[in-house]
Amino acid sequence: METGFIWPEERVPSAAIRDWVASTFPPTDVHSVVGPTTVYRVNDWGVTARFALLPAAQADDSEDVVGTASVVCKVGLTPLSASSPAIYHALALCAPGSVPRLLASRSDAMPREMDGVPMAKPQTWLMFAPFSGRAVRSFRNVEPIVEMAKVMGRVQVAFAALPERDKRDIPRAFVAELPAQLDTVLRDVRETYAPFWREHRQRLVGEHGMDESVQERLADERTMEEYRARVVAWVGELMRYRESDAWRDSIDHLDLHTNNAVVLDEGDASGIKVLIYDWEEASVGCPFFSLANLLENARRLEPTPAAPSLEAQVRLAYLNVLPWGVRSEREEAFDLALKLAPLRRLYETRQLFRSLGVSTIQTAGGKPMEEAVVVAGYLADALTQ
């Protein structure tokens, strides 16, 4: 399978991964590990690839991996991934079959070396059983997205019911902290992004389609004060709904979109079966934030403005799965969370860039133009709520 990605040997020595994978299996079962045979994804914060397992019976060091067993390894290159083993442990307890099956993990908080190989940054290694299916994004109908929303809801209900001991090592995201997070983000935007936007305005707007109105709104003190006041009010209302059991603390995926789920090949006559992956940066908090991106995916499928809303179908399917509180309050709490979701996404984007160990947009991820447009877009979404 040709993906166009190349394994970043300088950041993650593949020999170290192969040795680690081999060490997790009895030598009587696995003779050696070959790979990566397929590199699925490479970015500044992680690498995902498949490795083949050569059985002990094949002791001639042949690298003919056709038909052999395999595993999928995911390497997290930032501190944000350090909690991912705990996340997958909890998910395995409450949602087997709906998430990837974790076989082994290695989370060395700040290793200077791994297996004798120097490491420049903290890394978390995950090994999964492979799965096969078709990406939800490749479908042109809404049914897979609806099923994805249902699966997410079921996972969150089951996760919320887990004993606290099974969730204690997973990061918490407190709704009450959103106003303070807004202040932090705005300070960063004014100090780092606004000067960059001004300097490269023509190119950002002309070539990258950046919304230039965000600069005007950012400079308008009254606009910003009014938005902050709305955030404080929404947070207060959302917390009151939590007290009335309209929602419960559960897992928030952070990046739930149609390219992070597959319709499994093993579906049957009872319907399609969806598996959701890429949970490494999940946190425990308001579960409703997870649906923001998925609803946006559904909106993009809308055939005409007059057609029945596909977004509404996804929203309804998700809320129907949740048993918490009074239905009307649950719906109102969900809509409040969606108003706050762009702010949460903006803050988490800031955290991601910080985790890469950079402090200026000129070096962050090596793609300053793209980063500037992403941040401007998220801020524009937040300010239009």
Alpha-carbon distance of 41 to 18, in angstroms, equals 18
261-264 and 274-276 strand pairing: antiparallel
For residues 237-251, average pLDDT: 98
Average pLDDT, the chain: 88
- Amino acid, res. 160: A
Q: Where are the domains of the chain?
A: 14-130, 135-383
- Beta-bridge partners for 114: 117
Reading the block at residue 193, the tokens are 């992004």
Read off the pLDDT of residues 326-351 as tens digits, 9 standing for 90 and up.
999 999 999 999 999 999 999 998 88
Do 14-130 and 135-383 fold alike per CATH? no
Confidence of residue 306 (pLDDT cuts 50, 70, 90): low
CATH class, 135-383 region: alpha beta
Q: What is the pLDDT of residue 343?
A: 96
Q: If DSSP codes are grouped into helix, strand and coil, which group holds residue 63?
A: coil
> What are the angstrom distances between the C-alpha of 313 and each of 82, 206, 281, 295?
36, 36, 27, 9
pTM for the full predicted model: 0.90
- Amino acid, res. 196: F
Topology, domain 14-130: Phosphorylase Kinase; domain 1 (3.30.200)
> For residue 110, is pLDDT > 70?
no
Distance of CA 93 to the CA centre of its chain: 20
Alpha-carbon distance of 220 to 115, in angstroms, equals 54
Read off the pLDDT of residues 44-95 as tens digits, 9 standing for 90 and up.
889 999 999 998 766 555 555 545 699 999 999 888 899 999 999 999 999 9
Distance of CA 294 to the CA centre of its chain: 12
Read off the pLDDT of residues 189-204 as tens digits, 9 standing for 90 and up.
888 888 888 888 888 8
